[in-house]
Amino acid sequence: MTVTPSEDDLTPAESQADLTEGDVTTDPPTAPLKVLRYVGPGLIVAGSIVGSGELIATTKTGAEAGFTLLWLIILGCVVKVFVQVEFGRYAIISGKTTLMALDEVPGPRFRGRGNWLVWYWVIMWFTSIGQLGGIVGSVGQALAIGAPITKAGAAYNEIADAQTLLQFEQFALEKSAIREQPLVPTTTDAEIESRWEAFRIQFGDVTTTSDAATWATVMAIVTSLILVNGRYGLIQSLSTVLVGAFTLLTIVNLFLLQDQPDFRVRFSEFISGLRFSLPAANGDARPIGTALATFGIIGVGAAELVVYPYWLLEKGYGRFVGKNDGSSEWTTRAAGWMRVMRIDAWGAMALYTFATVAFYLLGAAILHRVELNPAKDNLVRTLAVMFVPVFSTWASSVFLFGAFAVLYSTFFVANASHARTFSDAMRVIGLIDDDAETRAKWISWLSGAFPILCLVIYLVFPEPAQLVLISGIAQGIMLPMLAGAALYYRYQRCPPGLAPGNLWDIMLWLSAVAMLITGLWTVWTQF
């Protein structure tokens, strides 16, 4: 599809064009407001992070581990940014996409078909698509709860909501007894079971309804149509608005929670979460395994590390710098755009770290105390309990708005990202021609196909939380590989005039070591 772009809304074909074609460059902005004009790739990445990593995986970790693993969550957000910046640095100075760059890393390879890193990325990609299957299923759950389509769906919602709320009320009842302020639950276990029996008589012996699958189908088709015709500006604006709205809502919820004596986050609990310690398994919950899977996808996970340079190039950073001609002017220009890139990356990190910590604290303060663990078809309904102490009867409506916003943002942005990376992978391994026009066509086609593929995965395996965590494991295993690639770019591909200082190198090595430990730990724990 050919379109005429504006200056700030490039098509994939133009943004990924060979930098040797033409010599139009742009000096980097220095004024703060002008710098903000070119910030955006990090926000797109944040839009693909918050839904699966923060809303699902992080809160599930908090629900299973309590406050104990707060340190690991913060570390997972911060430590990977150093590798992210190195990937961005090489993309800017070379104009090469991530998979083209990974193909340069030494190691085993299939001649003309990519090296070991490219092929492991393909394996990880399959799990990432499965993760998006979990995401579109969660979107379907949110809509099915808020707008049931069938009578069975409406009846199911009423009973399931009452059952989930009963567990919350039983916890509140215990606390009120201690304070001698008796509460009366709105229902009982026997009444819930009686209502389920009536439901089974009327609608059959089912554990869920078709409403979530129907809504997931609708949203997958809508997303497919939007992305086929989508452009950079639309993707950036939509993801920023959706993520920003729910992040603000979550922070307000956490702030108001401090007025709830049974659920407030005490300073001593917060500090205890910053100390290095590990929780024990409890029943079916395996908090360490969940946390390791979460570590792989919170912040910039392996998938986001790979995709970030694509959005940098699509924003125009590589084109603005131009081909390296060895001149001092090029070095100065490249250094200036790298400064803008660092502002973009660290600014996005501050946003998603703040959101991640808020989600984790809500999971630990509410779900862990009430002993609710988000899973299967009740994932979204269970997560909504995090808003009950503050918003009471409005909790479900408030949360469903936010959940839809952030989950759909993730689904939307990540599918756009996968279309770009997978089309590039096909170019690297020789399945399609190596030219910008061919790749732009494949981006358009895959943008339409991938949302439907995600839907099929969810319909076959309707367990959103498990799909997300499986992807987290695969990404956790790839983290040390990407850290090694970043070190290779730093010491073998960085022009002398653009080399960072000693402090940066130390932090980059610490980041690589942390990612190596996490990868090995993930393999040991899971296999």
For the segment 418-454, what is each residue's pLDDT rounded down to a tens digit? 898 999 999 999 898 888 889 888 988 999 999 999 9
Q: Provide the pLDDT for residue 197.
A: 86
pLDDT for 282 beyond 80 = no
Q: Provide the pLDDT for residue 240.
A: 65
pLDDT band at residue 468 under the 50/70/90 scheme: confident
What's the sign of the alpha-carbon dihedral 463, 469, 473, 474?
A: positive
pLDDT for 113 beyond 90 = no
Q: Is residue 186 part of a domain?
A: no
Q: Is 20 within 8 Å of 320 (Cβ atoms)?
A: no
Report the C-alpha gap between 213 and 160 in whole angstroms: 17
Q: Provide the pLDDT for residue 85.
A: 95
**Number of alpha carbons in the 13 Å side-chain half-sphere of residue 362:** 33
**Which has the closest alpha carbon to 382: 56, 68, 150, 146?**
56
Q: Provide the pLDDT for residue 119.
A: 94
Burial of 4 (0-12, 13-18, 19+ CB in 10 A): exposed
Q: Is residue 268 part of a domain?
A: yes
CA angle 173, 177, 179 (to 5 degrees): 120
Q: Is 227 within 8 Å of 447 (Cβ atoms)?
A: yes
Report the C-alpha gap between 466 and 130 in whole angstroms: 9
pLDDT band at residue 464 under the 50/70/90 scheme: confident
Q: Average the pLDDT over each of 66-75, 205-214, 444-453 and give the range with the smallest value.
A: 205-214
Report the C-alpha gap between 164 and 171 in whole angstroms: 11
Which residues lie below 8 Å from residue 197, measured CB to CB, with a gap of 6+? none
Q: Is residue 159 part of a domain?
A: no
The contacts found for 215-218 with CB under 8 angstroms, 24 or more apart, are 215/139, 215/140, 215/141, 215/143, 215/144, 215/147, 215/149, 216/136, 216/137, 216/139, 216/140, 216/455, 216/458, 216/459, 217/140, 217/455
Report the C-alpha gap between 263 and 266 in whole angstroms: 9
Q: What is the mean pLDDT of residues 249-268?
A: 88
For the segment 118-165, what is each residue's pLDDT rounded down to a tens digit? 999 999 999 989 989 988 988 898 888 888 898 888 888 888 888 887
Q: Is residue 449 part of a domain?
A: yes
Alpha helices in 147-231 (DSSP H): 151-178, 189-203, 211-228
Structural domain harbouring 473: 12-103+231-526
Report the C-alpha gap between 247 and 105 in whole angstroms: 38
pLDDT for 52 beyond 60 = no
Domain count, the chain: 1
What the block records as the tokens of 187 is 């229902």
Q: What is the mean pLDDT of residues 305-317?
A: 90
pLDDT band at residue 488 under the 50/70/90 scheme: very high
Report the C-alpha gap between 200 and 189 in whole angstroms: 17
Report the C-alpha gap between 290 and 379 in whole angstroms: 15
For the segment 9-44, what is each residue's pLDDT rounded down to a tens digit? 434 433 444 443 445 788 999 898 889 888 888 877
What the block records as the tokens of 420 is 């770009």
Q: Provide the pLDDT for residue 193.
A: 85
Q: Is 230 within 8 Å of 418 (Cβ atoms)?
A: no
Alpha helices in 275-378 (DSSP H): 287-297, 302-315, 317-321, 328-362, 368-370
For the segment 71-109, what is each residue's pLDDT rounded down to a tens digit? 988 988 888 899 999 999 999 999 999 999 999 999 998
Cα dist from 287 to 66, 198, 315, 374, whole Å: 9, 36, 39, 13
CA angle 50, 525, 473 (to 5 degrees): 30
H or E segment to which residue 38 belongs: none
**Which has the closest alpha carbon to 470: 55, 130, 132?**
130
**Number of alpha carbons in the 13 Å side-chain half-sphere of residue 57:** 34
Q: Provide the pLDDT for residue 18.
A: 44
pLDDT for 396 beyond 50 = yes
Q: Provide the pLDDT for residue 505.
A: 95
Q: Is 386 within 8 Å of 362 (Cβ atoms)?
A: yes
Residue with tokens 């150093």: 82
Q: Strands, DSSP E only, in 216-333?
A: none
Q: Is residue 141 part of a domain?
A: no
Of all residues in the chain, the percent with pLDDT exceeding 90 is 29
What the block records as the tokens of 449 is 């196909």
Which residues lie below 8 Å from residue 517, measured CB to CB, with a gap of 6+? none
pLDDT for 217 beyond 90 = yes
Cross-strand partners of 9: 6
Q: Is residue 374 part of a domain?
A: yes
Mean of the per-residue pLDDT values of the chain? 82
Q: Is residue 409 part of a domain?
A: yes
Q: Is residue 176 part of a domain?
A: no
Q: Provide the pLDDT for residue 517.
A: 85
**Which has the closest alpha carbon to 294: 74, 508, 29?**
74
Q: Provide the pLDDT for residue 219.
A: 92
- 3-state class (DSSP) for residue 285: strand
Q: What is the CA radius of gyration of the chain?
A: 24
- The DSSP result for 375-400, as a single string, is -GGGHHHHHHGGGHHHHGGGHHHHHH
Q: Provide the pLDDT for residue 231.
A: 55
Cross-strand partners of 285: 282
